[in-house]
C-alpha cells in the first residue's frame, strides 16, 4: 500500500479514505502477508477491473487536461510577464484545487503560496483570500495549527466584502457573521463569489444569481 500511495502522491488521510470507499463499493480487495513487517496488498476485483477499463479514456482526458494547464502555467511563470498575472492566478487556483482534492498537500501548498503572492501584487483581494483559505487548510493537514489560524484569520479579513450563502443540513450551521463554525462536509449547497469547491467537497455550487457554476 505504501508503494501505491507514493505513486499517487496522495496524503495518507486522503489515500486511506479512497481505499475504504473503493473497498465498500466492491472495486478493490485487500490482503495481508503475515510476518514482520506486515505487508498489505491491494488489488482490483473483476468489477473494479471493468470499471477501470470503462473509466480509462476519461482518466486519460483528465490527465491530459491537467498536464496542459500545468504546462501553460509553467510557460507563463517562466516568461513572467505582468500582463499574464490574472491568467496565472486563475491557473494556480484551478490546479491547486485539483491537487488539494487529490490529497497532494506539498504541491498545493506551493501553488497556494504563489497564488497569494500574485493576488497581493495585483490587488485581487478575493483571489488572495482564496489562496489563504487553501493554505490554511493545508497547514491544518500538516498540523501547523498556529500558522493555519493566522492564514484563515487573514482570509476572513480579506473576504469580509465577499458574499457567501451556505444552505445545508441543520447541523452544518448558518453564516450570519464574518466568521462562523460549520461542518464543511454537511454543506450541500453554496452560492459564493469565491471558488470554494475544495473547502466544501460535497456541495453543489451556484453563482450569486443562482445559476449553476461550471
In a domain, 15, yes or no: no
Domain count, the chain: 2
In a domain, 18, yes or no: no
Please report the pLDDT score of residue 213 as a whole number.
Answer: 45
pTM of the entire predicted model: 0.55
Closest among 168, 189, 166 to 177, alpha carbons compared: 166
* Residue 166 binned pLDDT confidence (cut-offs 50, 70, 90): very low
Residue pLDDT, tens place only, 123-141: 888 889 889 988 998 888 8
* Residue finishing a domain among 142, 162, 182: 162
Same domain as 183, residue 158: no
In a domain, 54, yes or no: no
What secondary structure letter does DSSP report for 72? H
Same domain as 158, residue 76: yes
162 within 8 A of 194, measured Cβ to Cβ: yes
In a domain, 29, yes or no: no
CATH of residue 82? 1.25.40.10
4 vs 172, higher pLDDT:
4
Closest among 170, 211, 201, 168 to 17, alpha carbons compared: 201
Checking if the pLDDT of 111 tops 90, the result is yes
Closest among 6, 2, 1, 61 to 28, alpha carbons compared: 1
DSSP secondary structure, 128-151, as one string = HHHHHHHHHHHHHHTT-HHHHHHH
How many angstroms separate the CA atoms of 15 and 5, rounded?
Answer: 6
In a domain, 149, yes or no: yes
What proportion of the chain, given as a percentage, has pLDDT over 70? 68
Please report the pLDDT score of residue 110 as a whole number.
Answer: 93
- Residue 190 C-alpha cell reads as 453554496
Same domain as 205, residue 192: yes
Same domain as 172, residue 128: no
Same domain as 76, residue 140: yes
Same domain as 194, residue 210: yes
Same domain as 157, residue 97: yes
Residue pLDDT, tens place only, 168-187: 445 545 544 444 555 555 66
In a domain, 172, yes or no: yes
Same domain as 138, residue 183: no
| H, E, C per residue of 178-194 | CCCCCCCCCEEEEEECC
How many angstroms separate the CA atoms of 25 and 178, rounded?
Answer: 40
205's CB contacts (< 8 A; 6+ apart) are: 190, 191, 192, 196, 197, 212, 213, 214
Same domain as 209, residue 172: yes
* Residue finishing a domain among 144, 162, 180: 162
**Mean pLDDT, the chain, as a whole number?**
77
Same domain as 101, residue 90: yes
* Residue 211 binned pLDDT confidence (cut-offs 50, 70, 90): very low
Please report the pLDDT score of residue 19 as a whole number.
Answer: 82
Same domain as 148, residue 208: no
67's CB contacts (< 8 A; 6+ apart) are: none
Same domain as 198, residue 136: no
| Residue range(s) defining the domain that contains residue 179 | 163-214
Amino acid at each position: 500500500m505504501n508503494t501505491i500511495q507514493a505513486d499517487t502522491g496522495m496524503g495518507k488521510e486522503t489515500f486511506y479514505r479512497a481505499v475504504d470507499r473503493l473497498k465498500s463499493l466492491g472495486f478493490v480487495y485487500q490482503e495481508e502477508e503475515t510476518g514482520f513487517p506486515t505487508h498489505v496488498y491491494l488489488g482490483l476485483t473483476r468489477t473494479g477491473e471493468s470499471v477501470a477499463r470503462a473509466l480509462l479514456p476519461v482518466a486519460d482526458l483528465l490527465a491530459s487536461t491537467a498536464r496542459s494547464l500545468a504546462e501553460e502555467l509553467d510557460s507563463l511563470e517562466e516568461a513572467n510577464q505582468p500582463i499574464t498575472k490574472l491568467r496565472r492566478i486563475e491557473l494556480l487556483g484551478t490546479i491547486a484545487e485539483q491537487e488539494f482534492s487529490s490529497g497532494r498537500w506539498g504541491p498545493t501548498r506551493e501553488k497556494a503560496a504563489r497564488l497569494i503572492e500574485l493576488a497581493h501584487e495585483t490587488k485581487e483581494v478575493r483571489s488572495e483570500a482564496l489562496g489563504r483559505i487553501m493554505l490554511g487548510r493545508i497547514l491544518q493537514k500538516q498540523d501547523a495549527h498556529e500558522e493555519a489560524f493566522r492564514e484563515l484569520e487573514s482570509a476572513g479579513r480579506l473576504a469580509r466584502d465577499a458574499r457567501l450563502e451556505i444552505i445545508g443540513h441543520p447541523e452544518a450551521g448558518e453564516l450570519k457573521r464574518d466568521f462562523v463554525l460549520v461542518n464543511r462536509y454537511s454543506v450541500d449547497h453554496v452560492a459564493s463569489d469565491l471558488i470554494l469547491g475544495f473547502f466544501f467537497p460535497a456541495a453543489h455550487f451556484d453563482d450569486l444569481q443562482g445559476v449553476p457554476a461550471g
